[in-house]
Amino acid sequence: MAGLIEELKRRNVFKVGTAYVVLSWLLAQAADLAADTFAAPDWVMKMLVTMLFLAFPLVLFFAWAYELTPEGIKKEKDVDRSQSITHKTGRKLDFTIIGILLLALGYFIWESRFESKDAQPAQDSIITSDAGMPTAESESPSSEVATTVNPKSIAVLPFVNMSDDASNEYFSDGISEEILNALAKVRELKVAGRTSSFAFKGQAQDIREIGETLGVAHILEGSVRKSGDTVRITAQLIQVDDGFHLWSESYDRELVDVFAIQDEIASAILTELKTALLDGEIQPVNSERTNSEAYDLYLLARQRLYERKSLSIESAIDLLDQALVLDPGYAPAYAQRGIATLLFSDQNYGTRPLQEAREEARGFIDKALQLDPDQAEAWAGLGLYYSQGINQYEQAIESLEKALAINPSLIDASNWLQNAYNNTGRSTESLQVLDDMIARDPLYPPAIGNAVNLKNAIGDFQGAQSVIDRAKPYMPDDFLLARSEANIFFYQGDYAKGLPELEAAMRQQPDHAVVRGEVGWGLYMTHQYERAAEIDDRFFEVLAMARLGRLEEARILAEEQDEQGVFITLATLLNQTGQSRELVRLYDSRWSSLAEFEADTPAAGLFGYWEMLELAYAFKQVGRSEQFADAMQRLRAAQEKQLAAGADNFFFDFIEAGYYTLAGDFDEAINRFAKSVDRGMTMASRVSEEYPYLEPLEGDPRFEAARLKMMEHINRERAALGLEQVEA
């Protein structure tokens, strides 16, 4: 035995084996780094390690059986022992081993220093704020970040499309989203929203940075390779704080079993998380099945709907119709078809008349619920349907709350719900939903826009701007972000700065009704009545036409608005044109009491109860003192409620000026009017032509001073826009 060991030493077998082991370890480390960089499937590393392991005995065999000589490699038995140079080869191997060990030591030191550096935050590093948005913070220890992150939280990054056909990307995105939805149904698990998770698509960012930005403790990432009728899905669950891979798996399946793969991945993740984080039993995950071709069309359609563009929505409608031909029993496709139809109305992103869109959409939504009464998207679609109806907000709230009870990850449903809350005067609840949306999906544009609107309403312009500034690095060219920033300028009276941004946004999205309306607002406030009258926004079109004397056209458009449930446009026009008696007759024909009117037309948002102000003025004009007193009491109660909720903006002050004028408190009315003007409110140069309830204030020097100040402001804004001055 001793002789064998001596012979192994002489032939350098031990040294060759040692050099091979150390070199293999270095090779594996380099390969692991490359695999992470290029998102290689797990089998690549497994195959490499297996090959290195299998090669080890072969290397030892060659070291025993062959020898390196000055003439080249020869079999050991053919080498004269007196001519052998194994001692010289051994010396070279010693240096080789030392060199490899030094390389290994250098790698170990570099890796340790790199991890240590990552664990310490750099100055102005990205951390997660209470709302879940990224915010700049100096010299903050990483432990503070960790304490703000819910350990029961996860983000599903979009799986990488590794198919030969790049157009299959919608499929890999769809797989990611279906897994996200399955995880979101677990109540105690916080799942980052789709918009924010997908914002990191195609970016080679550190997992820890992504986790901190999204406010999650775990990341799921993976890849999808689709080829013909087969698909390979690889997924790995990563712990954010240390980058440790908790779980990874690859799935090779026939494409008809794609739903089973989704369910299997989601269930495996939940099982892994349950061990350390989740309490109670994990319910099985079950996706709704259809055939592979219909599912392909459905996924592609849903991706188009996310774009919120007219042509994309049209394309989605066509794709969903094809899917329903292939599978007439697929409830999710019916639900999305209903939503797509509503989104294509002329009050949203398309051109179809709203009432036509609602009638058709309701059929698709009802069919989806008939096929599956627990179809969350269908309940969300029903909520959107009611939201766009006439005074159907309570039905909308009920439907949307049910949708979110089934699937809390439906961020659009959350947005429609907070709008419904806001439109029924439930601003506090609206803000609560909005805060939750921003925490779950901090880069979701509607949540950002609505948060900015609420901050504008309470006079927190700095806070509103900070929301936008935090989002800009991830959404540099988003037109809705530009629209939100323009709103901040508008609520400070800086129309010349905000209007160009809005017009640029409208050029990007000419069919976007909200952006059109806000362009109309900017044009109207700067007395560009001719342009505002052509903006295709009913409210500012009507007001601009009235200023231009086009009263018949204005009346037709105002009545169209009234038929669609927007009462304020016609009410304002009738009072402006001296037809308050007709407004009262209109009220009598619809409501038997102001309580009914208030239920159907509640004080929405934090901008004052304009509808009740117009109605109170009409009652006073026709001598209905009892109803006037009732209306004033309700107006005051609504204003106080909004004040308590934080209302602090120029339009609210203006409604206050109207209230105090009707109440006979002219001093307070003038104070409120002046405050509104100081903040940026503008109107017609002859104020009572536009808002007749302020007529008793005209002639008072304090009122006239405030009015002249307003006209100076208008002319400054017009000059900045390159427009001629208007007469005061």
When pLDDT is averaged across residues 476-496 and rounded to a whole number, the result is 91
Q: Which CA distances in Å does 727 have to 532, 703, 711? A: 19, 17, 8
Q: Which token pair is 634?
A: 């309700």
Helix axes 479-490, 445-457, angle to 10 degrees: 0
Give the pLDDT confidence score for residue 226 in this predicted structure.
Answer: 79
Domain 538-720 coded CATH 1.25.40 = yes
What is the rounded distance in angstroms from the CA atom of residue 667 to the CA atom of residue 656? 12
List the structure tokens of 43: 């089998």
Position 236 pLDDT exceeds 70: yes
Residues in the chain: 728
Burial per residue of 229-243, b for 16 or more beta-carbon CB atoms within 10 angstroms, e otherwise = eebbbbbbbbbbbee
Q: Which CATH number fits domain 134-276: 3.30.450.150, 3.40.50.150, 3.20.20.70, 3.40.50.10070?
A: 3.40.50.10070
Q: Which two tokens stand for residue 710?
A: 């307003």
Per-residue pLDDT at 45: 66
Q: Are 245 and 221 in contact (CB under 8 A)?
A: no
Mean pLDDT of 596-613: 91
What's the whole-number average pLDDT of the chain? 82
State the pLDDT at residue 496.
96
DSSP 444-484: -HHHHHHHHHHHHHTT-HHHHHHHHHHHTTT-TT-HHHHHH
What does the domain layout of the chain look like in residue ranges?
Answer: 2-119, 134-276, 292-491, 538-720
Cα-based distances in Å from 535 to 516, 557, 648, 660 = 7, 13, 29, 33
Largest Cα–Cα distance in the chain?
Answer: 130
pLDDT-based confidence at residue 723 (cuts at 50, 70, 90): very high
Alpha-helix runs per DSSP H in 66-190: 86-119, 142-148, 169-184
The position carrying tokens 């619920």 is 369
Q: Full-prediction pTM beyond 0.85?
A: no
Choice among 252-266, 340-354, 383-397, 462-476 with the minimum mean pLDDT? 252-266
Question: Where residue 124 falls among pLDDT bands split at 50, 70, 90?
Answer: very low
Are 576 and 588 in contact by the 8 Å Cβ rule? The answer is no
- pLDDT-derived band at 90 (thresholds 50, 70, 90) equals low
134-276 and 292-491: identical CATH topology: no
Cα angle for residues 97, 102, 107 (degrees, 5° grid): 125
Residue 548 has pLDDT above 90, yes or no: yes
Phi, psi of 492 (to 5 degrees): -110, 10
CA distance 609 to 493: 21
Domain 292-491 top-level CATH class: mainly alpha
Is residue 54 pLDDT above 50, yes or no? yes
Query: Is residue 493 classed as helix, strand or coil in its secondary structure?
Result: coil
Q: DSSP letters along 559-600, please?
A: HHHHHTT-HHHHHHHHHHTT-HHHHHHHHHHH-SSHHHHHHH
Q: What is the pLDDT of residues 276-335, one digit of tens each?
A: 566 555 555 555 667 778 888 988 898 888 887 889 999 999 999 999 999 999 999 999
194 pLDDT band, cuts 50/70/90, is confident
